[in-house]
Amino acid sequence: MMPVTTATNNREEVRRRSIEALTPEIVAYIETCAQDAHASSHLIGVLHKVQAHFGYLGREQMDAVAQLLQVPASKVTGVATFYHFFRLEPRGRFVINVCLGTACYVKGAERVADRLCEELGIHFGETTRDGLFSLEGTRCLGTCGLAPVIMIEDRIFGDMTPDQVPALLEKHVLQAQREDRQNGD
Ligand code: FES
């Protein structure tokens, strides 16, 4: 049997590493969930909380969740990869949401999406290597009268055509450069 002090030390070490990977508040939240007889039923809620803080679920964060909640790491990975709303990599500086709702689809959203993929060299759910853009699909942004619509950060761009895509991306590249200069990066 493992001596009590060793078990305690191991627990402390797990906790210390978990706080490094997560935050003290998230660790405390997971520890509360772990006391539940059905601790694993909190897994999705915990992953939402982690993603809300970090923007995505990294390996380090998922491992910490598995240890604190005492569920197999494979289960955490399985849940994180099964649900499309979990992201396993950081989002880009600009998140481009392409509306794939019916009104936008009928008005050519697919061609706009294809052009975005082509110009950025990524697929939906991916981020450009420079970390500038992530591409995501969404259902009806509530501005069907402007279809086809894309949203970058909080801004809506309506009546989009594939030919407008390069200039729109360039505008955001310049914006990023301007902001970096202002911040002295
Ligand atoms: S379907 Fe695209 S905004 Fe409604």
154-163 tens-digit pLDDT: 899 999 999 9
Task: Say if residue 101 is in the same domain as residue 157.
Answer: yes
| CA 51 to ligand 1 centroid distance, Å | 26
Domain-located, residue 88: no
Ligand 1 near 160 CB (within 6 A): no
Please return the burial class of 129, using the count of CB atoms within 10 Å of its CB with bins 0-12, 13-18 and 19+.
exposed
pTM, whole model, 2 decimals?
Answer: 0.68
| CA 85 to ligand 1 centroid distance, Å | 19
Q: What is the tens place of the pLDDT at every residue in 52-104? A: 899 899 999 999 999 999 999 999 999 999 987 888 888 899 999 999 999 99
Ligand 1 near 62 CB (within 6 A): no
Number of structural domains (the chain) is: 2
Is the Cβ–Cβ distance between 41 and 15 less than 8 Å? no
Domain-located, residue 129: yes
Instruction: Give the domain extent around 139.
Output: 94-182
Strands 94-99 and 133-138: parallel
Residue-level pLDDT at 92: 92
Query: Which ligand 1 atom minimizes the distance to the CA of 143?
Result: 3
